[in-house]
Structure 1
Amino acid sequence: MRVLLVAGKGGVGKTTVAAATALAAARAGRRTLVVSTDPAHSLADALGLVAGPAQVRDWRAAGVPAPVPGAPGQLDVLQIDARARVDESWTAVRRVVGGLLAGAGVDPLVAEEIATVPGIEDVLALLDVAAHAPSYDAVVVDCAPTAETLRLLALPEALDRLVRRGLPVENRIVRLLTGQGFAPETAAALDALDDLAARLMAVRELLTGPEAAVRLVTTPEKVVLAETARARTTLALLGHHVESVVVNRVASGPAWPPALVERHRDALLAARDRFAALPVRHAPYTEAEPVGVEALLAVADVVLSGSDPLDLGAVRAVAGLVSDDDLWRFDLPMPGARIDDVDLSVTEEGDLVVDLGPHRRVVTLPPLLQRCELDGASLDLTDQGSVLRVRFRPDADQWSSTLGGTA
């Protein structure tokens, strides 16, 4: 089963590319689901379903995919009601956190506001993706704008680390054995938080696995291309494989002013240079907005040129442990990054903390590296782009202790 996230800055045409890609996958014989995690849903509009037949469900109702009439092959569409996911998955946790704060003398209304995690509505939308994915051969996700998507993709790992570090199972066992247990409502909330973290980590594994990828959509403008390049770097840091870039709304031909055509041509060339390791496709600027099945399939034909709708062939970079002479190395692909933008450290718990501007990734290092000392790092250029190579030197004291005091 294949998963493709279609991401990019707001207004660049992500929904059009996502819907066109999903239609092309269905036409190729794959049972396909196209999902929107964008709070400003527009999948129904792009597919021409706003005034569609009765079998198309209310787009505000979450949970059940609806078929797309007229689509070749099986294509279902789902627009997720994130608020409903909050009511189902977060209410118990939020209630007890708010209660604990209120018990400490915080005004109940203020406690409720503090207990509401920013962005939780977005991240819980991922649970619907995981729930429906096994029923399909392909899932295409129309993501929210770039900033929201990066936050969305970073939260599962961050929440899992919070639960592991802040609410370790060992502490709960000690409380249970000593009779100092939690109140029933607190225990229920902690169990709910554990369950939520585990389910979100399962979604993360789905979205970063070998059958998952990200397709970035951009437009032929310098500012937008620069944001797209930064998004590619951050997605790689978070463990996601970017498989292609689609430059949308490229003006060409006599229908458009020559100056605009020249500017877009230069921008397209710049995009192919900037994303040299990736397939870069483009969709033309058209007078009529592509709405409906036929118009979207026409977009797919231009963008894909007969290629696999879900894989345009970019080489998948791999993070992980590498032996390097008398050192060990941990590699993290970070195409487009500059060494001055990267800060890293290793925590006492054995986590590698990598900061890239406002974004952070905390990686639990393999046990082998947890017995080593940080020896430095470099950002090296490879065929797939820059790779952050973090070097570790064995710590003689820890290795001797592990081996029972022998050298």
Structure 2
Amino acid sequence: MRTVLVTGPGGAGRTTVAAATALASASEGARTLLVSADPIPGFPDATAPTPVAAGLRSVRIDPAAHFRSELLALQEQLSSVLELLGGNPLDGEELTELPGSGELALLHALRRAAHGDWSDEAYDLLVVDLPPLRDALRLLALPGQLRRYLRRLLPQERQAARALRPVLAQLAGVPMPAQWLYEAAARRDAELAQVEALIEDRATTLRLVAEPGPAADEALRTARTGLALHGLRADAPVANRLLPGHSPDPFFAALAAQQEKSLGHWADEGAAPVRVAHLGRDPQGPDDL
């Protein structure tokens, strides 16, 4: 399965380009799955893969639901210890997501898509609408960072002492959660390894979307540095919302000239950009995309 990760500066139209990429792939006969955290006009707002068009399914990430399910599952595992300490269990309805839950939900979605957990159907292409550029680069480094933290906190070589835990539990009269803790850490490590393998796979590329201009020039330079550090391959950048260069209006003609100058810089520094014309409005559905 090939994977295309789509990102760009905030407001550059990365979600639009991700959806258009998925539609174009499906129209060419590839079985395609689109994963996004943002709503897309004309696409189903479903948290499970749902048909959009022939060969295309989409899924919307729900960070709040993922946060609730993960925290409630952890609470269930700790129930005996919490009862001993007199803790009051949390109700799912009172939980609100914390900062960072969106990134973890997206990593979970990547693992499910790569591992085929969502359905029995195999996909030829996975298109992922990532957060804005700087957040996306941090997100792509997150699996490796979390794996390092897990290995430091719960070294696998110390699991040999787990045979003593039942004895310690009897002596102390307190349930010892270390066994399931190590098992949970091993599961998390394996899941993060799957996401890390997907990101580092040679069939995975990152598609940068930007609206040509001085700010986008600087953002693309930053992106190229980040991609090089993480060993990621980039597709040709997508120049979004290009204005027509033949406008008789001096204002629009000057903006178009500035865009063309910016595109010249992009071509000098890397692959020639893919050009996407400005519709004059925001896309309203699959036909516009």
TM-score w.r.t. length of structure 1:
0.58
The aligned residue for residue 283 of structure 1 is: 276
C-alpha contact 1:93 1:190 (8 A) present in aligned 2: no
C-alpha contact 2:154 2:185 (8 A) present in aligned 1: no
Aligned pair in 2 of structure 1 residues 208, 80: CA closer, same or farther (>3 Å)? same
Unaligned stretches of 5+ in structure 1?
50-55, 104-108, 110-115, 297-407
Aligned pair in 2 of structure 1 residues 96, 236: CA closer, same or farther (>3 Å)? farther
Q: For residue 23 of structure 1, report the CA deviation from its aligned partner.
A: 0.6
SS at match of 1:283: strand
The aligned residue for residue 82 of structure 1 is: 63
Cα distance in 2, alignment partners of residues 166 and 172 from structure 1: 12
Q: Counterpart of 1:260 in structure 2: which amino acid?
A: L
Q: 1:228 and 2:220 equivalent?
A: yes
The aligned residue for residue 29 of structure 1 is: 29
SS at match of 2:149: helix
Match of 2:140 among 153, 170, 177: 153
The aligned residue for residue 66 of structure 1 is: 50
Q: For residue 21 of structure 1, report the CA deviation from its aligned partner.
A: 0.7
Q: Counterpart of 2:265 in structure 1: which amino acid?
A: A
Q: For residue 86 of structure 1, report the CA deviation from its aligned partner.
A: 2.4
The aligned residue for residue 100 of structure 2 is: 119
Which aligned segments of 4 or more residues in structure 1 are displaced greater than 6 angstroms? Answer: 94-97
Q: For residue 186 of structure 1, report the CA deviation from its aligned partner.
A: 4.4
- CA deviations 1:120-152 (Å, max 9, x no partner) are 431232222332344211110111112221222
SS at match of 2:244: coil
Q: For residue 14 of structure 1, report the CA deviation from its aligned partner.
A: 0.4
Aligned pair in 2 of structure 1 residues 11, 95: CA closer, same or farther (>3 Å)? farther
Aligned pair in 2 of structure 1 residues 232, 215: CA closer, same or farther (>3 Å)? same
Match of 2:262 among 254, 267, 290: 267
Cα distance in 1, alignment partners of residues 77 and 228 from structure 2: 36
SS at match of 1:293: coil
More helix by share: 2
The aligned residue for residue 390 of structure 1 is: none
Q: Counterpart of 2:39 in structure 1: which amino acid?
A: S
SS at match of 1:244: coil
C-alpha contact 1:123 1:153 (8 A) present in aligned 2: no
Q: Counterpart of 1:193 in structure 2: which amino acid?
A: A
Cα distance in 1, alignment partners of residues 263 and 128 from structure 2: 25
Between the aligned residues of both structures, percent identity stands at: 34
Q: Counterpart of 1:191 in structure 2: which amino acid?
A: E
Cα distance in 2, alignment partners of residues 158 and 136 from structure 1: 28
Cα distance in 2, alignment partners of residues 91 and 152 from structure 1: 24
SS at match of 2:205: strand
Q: For residue 187 of structure 1, report the CA deviation from its aligned partner.
A: 3.3
Cα distance in 2, alignment partners of residues 157 and 253 from structure 1: 45
Q: For residue 197 of structure 1, report the CA deviation from its aligned partner.
A: 2.5
**Any residues of structure 2 matched to 1:130-279 within 5 Å, and which?**
130-133=111-114, 134=116, 135-177=122-164, 179-180=167-168, 183-255=175-247, 257-274=252-269, 276=270, 278-279=271-272
Cα distance in 2, alignment partners of residues 95 and 270 from structure 1: 56
Cα distance in 2, alignment partners of residues 86 and 239 from structure 1: 30
Aligned pair in 2 of structure 1 residues 279, 177: CA closer, same or farther (>3 Å)? farther
Aligned pair in 2 of structure 1 residues 265, 129: CA closer, same or farther (>3 Å)? same
- What is the CA RMSD across the aligned residues, in angstroms? 3.0
Q: For residue 90 of structure 1, report the CA deviation from its aligned partner.
A: 5.0
Q: Counterpart of 2:222 in structure 1: which amino acid?
A: R
Cα distance in 1, alignment partners of residues 8 and 268 from structure 2: 19
Match of 1:42 among 8, 32, 39: 39
Aligned pair in 2 of structure 1 residues 118, 186: CA closer, same or farther (>3 Å)? farther
Aligned length: 263
Q: For residue 157 of structure 1, report the CA deviation from its aligned partner.
A: 0.6
Bigger relative CO (Cα 8 Å, ≥ 6 apart): 2
Unaligned stretches of 5+ in structure 2?
85-89, 91-96, 117-121
Cα distance in 1, alignment partners of residues 138 and 72 from structure 2: 21
C-alpha contact 1:119 1:152 (8 A) present in aligned 2: no
Q: Counterpart of 1:291 in structure 2: which amino acid?
A: Q
The aligned residue for residue 302 of structure 1 is: none
The aligned residue for residue 109 of structure 2 is: 128
TM-score w.r.t. length of structure 2:
0.80
SS at match of 2:131: strand
